Amino acid sequence: MRARTVAALVAAAVVAVAGGWYFGTATTPPEQTHLAGGSPMFPGLADKLRNAAKLEITHQGKQTVIEKRGDGLWGVASMHDYPVQESKLRGVLTGLTELRLTEPRTSDPAEYGRLGVDDPAGAKSDANLLRVVDAGGQPLASLIIGHRRVRGRANVPDEVYVRRPDEAQSWLAEGSVQADADAMQWLDRDVLDIKQDRIASVVVGDKALVFGRVDGKFTLTEPADHPKLDDYKVENVARGLEMLTMQAVKPDAEATGEPAGHAVFTTTDGLLVTVSLLHADKDVWARFAVSGPEAVKAEADRLSARLAGWTYEIGSWKEKSLVPAMDDLKASEPATPGASKPVSPGQAASPAPDAEKTEAPAAEAGTAAAPAPGTDNAASPASEASKAVPPAPEDAGKEAAPSEADKPAASASGTDKPEAPASGPEQK
């Protein structure tokens, strides 16, 4: 046998042995070999998901549970089953059905951390364990989700490293499954969205303030004798329920605070929304009650079913729109004559009215700048017009340092940032 042929066979044997050690062929069950090449990780899962009743997400030993409620909606168990974002839940379940295994990776537990598929119970683990179970607690799908693979090219499928929790073999899979372990990130944060042009009136407290529409314009009607108001502040009251979102939520029984007023918003078709505010330290919390006549009964029932029994933390700035006081609406006081006005960025400050005014002479080419006006040592035009002041020796030949405004802005790198922590070099 020729020496060249022998050398080629030896090289092939070395590659085969090395590959078997790296990918763990000896520890990979024979039935797994057919999964490579884009095979579904969970064949037939789409039909099984009809029986799904719970999602369990474990990260660093802490578990978040998303469970199906009696009304068919899904909620966060630790948040008293407050509804989740339907689009987010649908994305996770759809991602599971579309996940395809493309390449085997390491089966060495010491290397799991580099791909983010180590033990999700570990205190420093990046992995998430996702389990989907039915009403009887039987698992429909279970996997450890690791790092997303960073791709340098556009228009290529997402990829992620995964591993079944009861198997040593890890895989590179085509697809994406976003299993967020933060319970707050699952909540549907939209509270209400009633457009301002639908609001017919707002009554604050026991008619302390009454807003209505006069010739189509939203305005304060009671008290009739009131100070001058800023129109935009009044219009913000009509926008109080528009795109209203929450920062946190608690059941009414767990929410504490001092009452901070209430208001009733009435729409043009008769829907009534009562807002009651609470102050808890610096936080503002709100409760909502919804009712209305037969024409809006379906909408009122739908909103009541979602809002009743819950107290929401809202942005503190919304208080002036939901339960305003007269002082919140007053027009800004005009500036006092002679008072100094704030200088906007990039605008030169004008001298004070009583400052000494000295007109600087026109500078000749090569002369130094004239002294600032108003200083005691300002030279007269007659004595300085023909004088050229040479630069100081230590300054000769030096250019003035550019100001911050003259410095070029830092240019973007032009590279895309990875969406997930870098997973380290790929393992072959």
- The amino acid at residue 217 is K
157 shares a domain with 230: no
The residue among 329, 349, 379 that closes a domain is 329
Edge-to-edge strands, sheet with 170-174:
39-40, 100-104, 170-174, 159-163, 139-148, 128-134, 52-59, 62-68, 74-76, 82-83
Q: Are 170 and 106 in contact (CB under 8 A)?
A: yes
77 is written with which tokens? 């168990």
309 shares a domain with 266: yes
β-partners of residue 212 are: 219
181 shares a domain with 36: yes
In a domain, 86, yes or no: yes
What are all long-range contacts of 207-212, with beta carbons under 8 Å and residues at least 24 apart? Answer: 209/324, 209/325, 209/326, 211/237, 211/238
Question: How many CA atoms within 13 Å lie on the side-chain side of 159?
Answer: 21
Looking at the predicted structure, is the pLDDT value of residue 237 above 70?
yes
* pLDDT single digits (tens) 60-117: 999 999 999 988 899 999 988 999 999 999 999 999 999 999 999 999 999 999 999 9
In terms of DSSP H, where are the helices of 99-158? 112-115
Q: Which among 126, 128, 63, 70 has a CA at the least distance from the CA of 96?
A: 128
Q: Which among 261, 205, 265 has a CA at the least distance from the CA of 238?
A: 265
324 shares a domain with 241: yes
251 shares a domain with 214: yes
Higher pLDDT: 264 or 399? It is 264
177 shares a domain with 314: no
In a domain, 214, yes or no: yes
Pairing mode, strands 272-280 and 128-134: unpaired
Per-residue pLDDT averaged across 33-59, rounded?
Answer: 85
5 is written with which tokens? 């042929």
Mean pLDDT score across all residues of the chain: 78
310 shares a domain with 238: yes
Segment among 18-22, 203-207, 251-255 with least mean pLDDT = 18-22
Per-residue pLDDT averaged across 37-53, rounded?
Answer: 91
Maximal CA-CA distance, the chain: 111
In a domain, 198, yes or no: yes
Q: Give pLDDT, residue 339.
A: 54
What is the spatial distance between Cα 322 and Cα 41, in angstroms, rounded to a whole number?
50
Looking at the predicted structure, is the pLDDT value of residue 417 above 50?
no
36 shares a domain with 174: yes
- What residues make up the domain containing 134? 30-185
In a domain, 160, yes or no: yes
274 shares a domain with 261: yes
Edge-to-edge strands, sheet with 283-291:
217-222, 209-214, 199-204, 258-267, 272-280, 283-291, 310-314, 248-251
In a domain, 356, yes or no: no
Q: Are 81 and 143 in contact (CB under 8 A)?
A: no
- Report DSSP letters for 92-110, one per residue: HHHHHHH-EEEEE----GG
Looking at the predicted structure, is the pLDDT value of residue 179 above 80?
yes
Q: Cα–Cα distances in Å, from 168 out to 15, 31, 110?
A: 22, 14, 11
In a domain, 377, yes or no: no
Phi-psi region at 12: left, alpha or beta (left = phi > 0; alpha = psi -120 to 50): alpha
In a domain, 286, yes or no: yes
SS3 (DSSP) at 289: strand
208 is written with which tokens? 């302390």
In a domain, 240, yes or no: yes
What is the spatial distance between Cα 415 and Cα 210, in angstroms, rounded to a whole number?
55
Looking at the predicted structure, is the pLDDT value of residue 379 above 80?
no
Higher pLDDT: 329 or 151? It is 329
Q: Cα–Cα distances in Å, from 114 out to 117, 197, 367, 418?
A: 8, 55, 66, 16
The residue among 157, 185, 213 that closes a domain is 185
Number of domains forming the structure of the chain: 2
Looking at the predicted structure, is the pLDDT value of residue 50 above 50?
yes
Higher pLDDT: 366 or 99? It is 99
52 shares a domain with 181: yes
The residue among 329, 360, 380 that closes a domain is 329
Query: Is residue 345 reached through a cis peptide bond, with omega within 30 degrees of 0 on the bond before it?
Result: no
202 shares a domain with 179: no
Q: Give pLDDT, residue 295.
A: 95
Q: Which among 242, 257, 330, 325 has a CA at the least distance from the CA of 287?
A: 257
Backbone angles phi, psi at 222, to 5 degrees: -135, 135
Per-residue pLDDT averaged across 233-244, rounded?
Answer: 96
Q: Are 338 and 353 in contact (CB under 8 A)?
A: yes
- Report DSSP letters for 244-287, one per residue: EE-SEEEEGGG---EEEEEEEEEETT--EEEEEEEEETTEEEEE
Q: With cut-offs at 50, 70 and 90, classify the pLDDT of residue 25.
A: very low
* pLDDT single digits (tens) 114-125: 999 999 999 999
147 shares a domain with 86: yes
Tell the residue number behind the tokens 């037969």, with chain if given: 294
